Chain A
Amino acid sequence: MRLEPVANPSLLRTTVPPAIAIGSTVVIASLLAMAAGANPFSVLGLILKGAFGSKFALLETLNRATPLIFTGLSVAVAFRARLWNIGAEAQLYAGALITVVLGTGLLQWGAFALLPTLVIASVLAGALVLLVPALLKVRFGVDEVVTTLLFNFIFLLFISMLLEGPLKDPMGMGWPKSERLISEARLPRIVDGLRLHWGFALALIAAVVVWVIERRTTLGYEMRAVGLNREAAGFAGIPVNTVLIKTALLSGGLAALAGFSEVAGLKGNLTLDLSPGFGYTGIVVAMLALLNPLAVIAAALFVAGIFVGADSMSRAVGVPSYLADIMLATALLLMVLAILLTRFRVVRE
């Protein structure tokens, strides 16, 4: 077989493969639910209901989507310039770390001064964490996939070390967790009485900002050029390495905001289970959004919905909530294939 590009894809060609991908994901999930002895329709229904079926469910989904928007944006920005940042997890913890370092009493400022400071500090911390693999890539040609992956493990151990050492909460009954943020360092709720914090709004703003950067700024143009064709970009005079470094700083900073937002908006302190893999899930979010920053919001809501819904479904009927991860993996793999098939036709040769 051979792939032949389609010059002007028809509406049918652009819609049917993604629909089949989503459909197949649902079918596979149903089969797995049946394997667990559950009725697939009720399982899928419960997932939907648990994700979007009530005010509480919806807010839970929005809260869960918040860090995913940040990590999704982080990955989308990096992948756009073909910088393979698989280390959003480490950058997320970097943001969370600096937030608890500064926000547990070190800076005794009012919220209007402290919160912006924490945002900036988080961005810088995350940027710094990705800067190392990015420099290794441009200076020594070390593949960033492996280094960013390995950094995730290193950084989590580093956090663990701090939580059992200098950052340990003396009142924590021996658990490895940090002290709680002072109240000025907490992100308030958007609407009183509704469990949704300003981190979500910040995530939406971040998505718009990233979109503007990509479409309207010189850096965005450079990033896209470097991502699409590094050789042509370099030939034309685009400083490829500088662009990669700038991209890394932006990407690392975005992922760190997820950590800031989780600590300041939701948890209030830093523990080793702050992120159930938000950094890795960000890759799925970014790919499902086709790297488009605005679509990242929708993709994050979809992914968060599956997670929240699966948790609630699991509590109700006992089907393991890992079903959510399976659905995401399947959706990711089938979706990249479907997107390919919207642009290419398979020819038998």
Chain B
Amino acid sequence: MDIFEILLSASFWTAAIRIASPLIFATLGELICERAGVLNLGIEGIMVAGAFAGWMAVYSGTGLWMGVAVAMAVGMLFGLVHSLLTVPFGLSQHVVGLGVTLLATSLTYYAYRLALPEVTSPPKIEAFQPYEVPFLSDIPLIGPALFAQTPLTYLAFILVGVVGLVLYRTPLGLALRAVGENPSAVAAQGLSVTGIRMGAVIVGSGLMAVGGAFLTMSAFDSFFFEMVNGRGWICIALVVFGAWKPGKALLGAVLFAAFDALQIRVQQMPLGADIPYQVFLMMPYFLSILALIVMSRRAEVPAALMVPFNKGER
């Protein structure tokens, strides 16, 4: 098979969309935080926590959707910790974010060890299964790629639209975009800067956790250490690549995932046989850095990103 055949195969695009799904959730989550002016470096740890919490909930007997809700709630809890420290107290978003990642990761691993003290390989759950949308899934190429996915993938795509609508078509989105640009504009209209920012970080963190849960509940059916493996950091690059816009971020996530799916396949081709597999595994990270370099010139960063707001500063 050559590369063109791969690019025209349905299984390739099915995989790409699957790989993109957790990134979409987490990128949307980060985008909401950053639009409100808060960089959330807790993303990596929150994804780990979400992956574990959702899976553990299902393993202990709740339904799959309940598992997603549990993951979301756990993510929101870490979002609360992050936003309490960075918003009203205005602490360094770098330090707090890394601290939250460390906290979420270590708490997760601790909980895992407590819950399953003696296992060598983690147990499996009954994960989300692909649901073929009638008729639409029969369309060649696009059908299997877009309409034979698990419900969580559909949810990811729907969320892109929802977040876009909220951001640009509702009073809440107006306030959110304003608070990341000039918080005093929001304060002067009698709205609470602290409230909006904290809300954004909490909801955004919830979405990050769902992105993590996708890994254990849809992409795979089990929880492993290191399974998030830098996806959180990649999502931060995707937000920049998407110029803080949901639609472009979706495009970035799909492109990125397509590239990732491609490198897996090229590894198995004769062309890839002589190249160490690590080179392929490095590609996504290089691609992220490249995206940052390309976009850094023209991106419109929210003006108040990483700038704490202290009411009545003299």
| Residues of A near any B CB (own CB < 8 A) | 1-3, 32, 35-36, 84, 86, 136, 140-143, 145-147, 149-154, 157-158, 160-161, 164-165, 280, 283-284, 287, 318, 320, 322-323, 325-326, 328-330, 332-333, 336-337, 340, 349
Contacts and interface: CB of A to CB of B under 8 A. Distances in A.
Nearest to A3: B310
A345 to B, nearest CB: 12
B165 to A, nearest CB: 28
Nearest to B109: A322
B285 A154 contact: yes
Interface in B223-270: 229-230, 233-234, 236-237, 240
Interface in B87-102: 88-92, 94-96, 98-100, 102
Nearest to B107: A326
A349 B311 contact: yes
B282 interface: yes
B57 interface: no
B106 A145 contact: no
B296 A141 contact: yes
Interface residues of B, number: 47
B233 A146 contact: yes
Contacts of B234: 150
B230 A84 contact: no
Contact of A332 (B99, B107, B113): B99
Interface in B264-291: 276, 278-279, 281-282, 285-286, 288-289
Given A146-B288, A153-B230, A329-B103, A340 B89 contact: yes
7 contacts: A2-B312, A150-B233, A150-B288, A322-B109, A322-B113, A329-B100, A336-B95
Contact of B110 (A1, A32, A141, A349): A32
B91 A336 contact: yes
A318 B81 CA distance: 29
B107 A161 contact: no
A36 B106 CA distance: 14
A340 B91 contact: yes
A284 B310 contact: no
Interface in B56-102: 81, 85, 88-92, 94-96, 98-100, 102
